[in-house]
């Protein structure tokens, strides 16, 4: 099942879709909900896309960003489904963490077909790291400590227990021979920024997140990236980070990033947002943002993205059952 999941992601990463014509004028008050506190991947998605859309003239005004944390994205999802289901101005940052929570039934009463899936903006490979002052120098060394005493290392992540940040650690643990991955200590926080804060405070010993969350903390010396969960080394600023595979831990964790919209959004507004994000993706400006932040190529929109999400949910459900997260 893991091979199927990774194969699907690899196929999707090679998909390039022509930008559709933008059929409607931009919404008067474009808004984006980031379902976590400032500083994490969802916050990055809203703010960087909003800035780029405005810089390119695709939207004529600043996109309002609202941070609505809680429940691993569940609070924002419920807000959109229950209170803003027909808001044409609104898009919401999403990722593999979103489909993971939906697959595991962690958004009570909510399902993937209650919203409209807009488009992706790239894929974010997972990382595992420690504070810059830690004496741990490799992923293999970190997991040796975990194997010797699973409770001695607490991993902090920005997804809920059983979420994508958690699953990445469990997949790596399986690869190093830890049979009962339920012994792994994982502490959930409301976004990657808060998880990093706790790492720097010494409350936890390791961090699990995505490469886009890491750059500022690496540059400040606060974060030491032990490994990137990519099939090969990334380019640009992250090129010096080894892959987990290089350390003998053959695991890949790709986190797609993109947006969903309210389920009863008008077709004309939905077409605008699909066209806007897809047009932005094709520009040199966005390709530069991707390169600067370690995002890999993943270009899906509209019906193709909806199909991808449905398959993603099915595959994560199967994987979660395999490792005991759900029955």
Residue spans per domain, the chain? 2-124+255-322, 125-247
Note the CATH number of domain 125-247.
Answer: 3.40.190.10
pLDDT of 6 above 60:
no
| pTM of the entire predicted model | 0.76
Question: Tens digit of pLDDT for each residue in 206-263?
Answer: 999 988 888 889 999 999 999 999 989 988 889 999 999 999 999 988 889 999 999 9
* pLDDT value, residue 24: 66
Assigned CATH for 2-124+255-322: 3.40.190.150
Domains 2-124+255-322 and 125-247 share a fold: yes
pLDDT of residue 160: 82
Kindly report the three-state secondary structure assignment for every residue of the chain: CHHHHHHHHHHHHCCCCCCCCCCCCCCCCCEEEECCCCCCHHHHHHHHHHHHHHHCCCCCCCCEEEECCCHHHHHHHHHHHHHCCCCCCEEEEEEHHHHHHHHCCCCCCCCHHHEEEEEEEEEEEEEEEEECCCCCCCHHHHHHHHHHCHHHCEEEECCCCCCHHHHHHHHHHHHCCCCCHHHCEEEECCCHHHHHHHHHCCCCCEEEEEHHHCHHHHHCCCEEEEEECCCCCCCHHHCCCCECHHHCCCCCCEEEEEEEEECCCCHHHHHHHHHHHHHHHCCHHHHHHHHHHCEECCCCEHHHHHHHHHHHHHHHHHHHHHCCCCC
């Amino acid at each position: 099942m893991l091979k199927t999941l990774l194969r699907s992601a690899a196929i999707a990463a090679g998909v390039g879709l022509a930008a559709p014509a933008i059929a409607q004028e931009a919404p008067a008050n474009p808004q984006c909900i980031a379902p976590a506190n400032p500083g994490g991947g969802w916050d990055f998605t809203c703010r960087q896309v909003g800035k780029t859309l405005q810089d390119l003239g695709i939207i004529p005004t600043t996109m309002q960003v609202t941070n609505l944390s809680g429940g691993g994205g569940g609070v924002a999802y419920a807000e959109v489904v229950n209170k803003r289901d027909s808001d044409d101005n609104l898009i919401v940052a999403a990722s593999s963490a979103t489909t993971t929570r939906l697959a595991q039934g962690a958004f009570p009463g909510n399902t993937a077909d209650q919203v409209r899936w807009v488009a992706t903006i790239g894929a974010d490979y997972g990382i595992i790291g420690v504070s810059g002052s830690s004496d741990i120098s490799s992923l293999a060394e970190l997991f040796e400590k975990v194997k010797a005493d699973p409770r001695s290392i607490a991993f902090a992540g920005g997804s809920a227990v059983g979420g994508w940040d958690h699953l990445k650690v469990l997949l790596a643990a399986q690869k190093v021979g830890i049979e009962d991955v339920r012994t792994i200590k994982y502490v959930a926080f409301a976004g990657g920024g808060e998880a990093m804060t706790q790492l720097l405070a010494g409350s936890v010993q390791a961090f699990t997140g995505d490469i886009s969350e890491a750059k500022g903390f690496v540059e400040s010396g606060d974060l030491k990236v032990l490994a990137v969960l990519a099939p090969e080394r990334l380019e640009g600023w992250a090129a010096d980070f080894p892959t987990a595979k290089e350390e003998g831990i053959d695991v890949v964790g790709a986190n797609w990033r993109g947006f969903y919209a309210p389920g009863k959004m008008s077709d004309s507004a939905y077409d605008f947002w699909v066209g806007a994000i897809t047009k932005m993706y094709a520009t040199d400006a966005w390709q530069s943002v991707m390169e600067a932040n370690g995002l890999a190529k993943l270009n899906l929109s509209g019906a193709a993205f909806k199909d991808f999400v449905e398959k993603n949910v099915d595959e994560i459900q199967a994987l979660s059952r395999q490792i005991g997260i759900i029955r």
